[in-house]
Amino acid sequence: QVQVVESGGGLVPAGGSLRLSCSASGRASSMYNMAWYRQAPGKQREFVATITWNKRQTLYADSVKGRFTISRDNATDTVYLQMNSLKPEDTAVYYCNAHSRNWIRYYWGQGTQVTVSS
């Protein structure tokens, strides 16, 4: 019912920056909270950042706080993840998520690879 598509991944040197984009479309997509998760090889998927549908609240994982910024353009139903001061440990597949309250409904994108070289 809701389609989620990420883009913007790539290879970047340590200390560099990258901006990921996530577009959501479908019925009531503008009313969904959105989030970024990531999964590194051999590790579980972990929370990165989230933003509510009305942009009133944002939350970040401690590992990215101060370096990453999540934002949302409701006019285009697009959420962004600005990643600065990237570290090799940030290397992972980054997944965009759209979810309703209490995760009654949730949708995942295909993921976009972010690789940070040493």
**How high is the pLDDT of residue 29?**
82
**Is pLDDT above 90 for 74?**
no
> Of 4-8, 71-75, 109-113, which gets the smallest average pLDDT?
71-75
**Is pLDDT above 90 for 113?**
yes
pLDDT tens track for 4-18: 999 999 999 999 999
Residue 100 Cα distances to 43, 45, 110, 116, 118, angstroms: 26, 20, 19, 32, 38
* Rounded-to-integer distance, Cα 61 and Cα 115, Å: 19
| CB of 98 closer than 8 Å to CB of 106 | yes
Non-local (6+) Cβ contacts of 85 within 8 A are 15, 17, 67
- What is the arithmetic mean of pLDDT over 36-55? 95
**Ranges assigned E (strand) in 28-103:** 33-39, 46-51, 58-60, 68-73, 78-83, 92-99
